[in-house]
Copies of this chain bind each other. A is one copy, B any other.
């Protein structure tokens, strides 16, 4: 699954966003996403396979953290297109304040 596919699901984007603030146990993600635990676990698996998150054990818990390497690749993929808006810093607001 490519990074684009991995990012295709809103729940997965939310997970990345949450991990942006630092390492979290799977349970914290389950609580934040308000979604059945097995479901979150499956999304985490997709993210792992895409290389977007790392995991380490801490007793029974599994602590997830962001691996930004694929995001850097995405950034690179975007590069050739940036010339279309580079310098055009007009007011096209931060569309980005959505919840995903």
Contact = CB atoms under 8 A, between A and B. Distances in A.
A99 B17 CA distance: 29
A79 B66 contact: no
Interface bin, chain A: 20 to 34
B92 A96 contact: no
Interface in A47-77: 66, 68, 71-77
Contact of A76 (B17, B82, B86, B94): B94
A71 B75 contact: no
Contacts of A16: 81
A78 B71 contact: yes
A96 B76 contact: yes
A81 B20 contact: yes
